[in-house]
Structure 1
């Protein structure tokens, strides 16, 4: 996928099309090589239920992030900025960081972690959004 100039593309993998239609937002937006990914959460797309606990939700959120980036023509290695939201910022950070480091083992992106008292569903404990530059992870 090689978009040029200022063409704007909404990225919505097939499994997320209902979210786009119902809630009116894209999983990601790509302009040129820049990709802004909406917050991804630890919901299993097969059963549409949040996983149990920080570690399991973090793994699913990174898998969902990977799926969206692939649909945009990029990979996890192309992430240049990560913003994460945590219902228990201090209590779950060790578990979150262990999973994050497994998905992003080197060339760490800029990262901001934010504590919040709630996410979209009461069972959710972590949300991950990202900015990527397609092809930058290959350099």
Structure 2
């Protein structure tokens, strides 16, 4: 097995180590990003829904930037929403602030009953720039 090429955003490595997962892995020209939530620096949930979604995107964008990517490099998105029937529209209004112009990435939306105190999570796969380091 090859060594994982892990990408850590600035200032949050202890949080990921405490929870025993990698924020993102580079592999075969792609960046696989773990689900990002609207967590504060200490890992606690942001209570306001719109602010939580913005913080999830800020956390996602920090990981993408650490790998030399941006949201324009994202090819696949999975979102998890607690109670999507009531939260989808308010969440999607905020998502539009980050999504950019078409063409958009692929999307899978999943309604869930629990996200460890969060209401929204976003997980992506991005195409790494050709100049990025690629691991097997």
TM-score by length of 1: 0.83
Q: CA deviation at 1:16?
A: 1.8
| C-alpha separation in 2, matches of 1:79 and 1:70 | 12
Residue by residue over 1:62-104, the C-alpha shift from the partner in whole angstroms, topping out at 9 and shown as x without a partner, is 0100000001110011111110111111111111111111101
Aligned to 1:51: 46
| C-alpha separation in 1, matches of 2:76 and 2:50 | 21
Aligned to 1:3: none
Please say if residues 8 and 63 of structure 2, whose CA atoms lie closer than 8 Å, have aligned partners that are also in contact.
Answer: yes
Q: CA deviation at 1:7?
A: 7.5
Aligned to 2:128: 134
Between 1:25-34 and 1:62-71, the stretch displaced more is 25-34
Q: CA deviation at 1:8?
A: 4.2
Matches within 5 A, 1:54-133: 54-106=49-101, 107-120=103-116, 122=117, 124-133=118-127
Pair 1:21–1:51, CA change in 2 (3 A): closer
| C-alpha separation in 1, matches of 2:96 and 2:70 | 15
Q: Structure 2: which 5+ residue stretches go unaligned?
A: 131-136
Please say if residues 35 and 131 of structure 1, whose CA atoms lie closer than 8 Å, have aligned partners that are also in contact.
Answer: yes
Q: Structure 1: which 5+ residue stretches go unaligned?
A: 1-5
Matches within 5 A, 1:3-18: 8-18=4-14
Please say if residues 39 and 128 of structure 1, whose CA atoms lie closer than 8 Å, have aligned partners that are also in contact.
Answer: yes
CA-based RMSD of the aligned residues comes to 1.9
Partner of 1:14, secondary structure, is coil
Partner of 1:29, secondary structure, is strand
Aligned residues: 128
Q: Structure 1 residue runs of 4+, over 6 Å off?
A: none
Between 1:47-56 and 1:73-82, the stretch displaced more is 47-56
Aligned to 1:29: 25
- Greater RCO (CA < 8 Å, at least 6 residues apart): 2
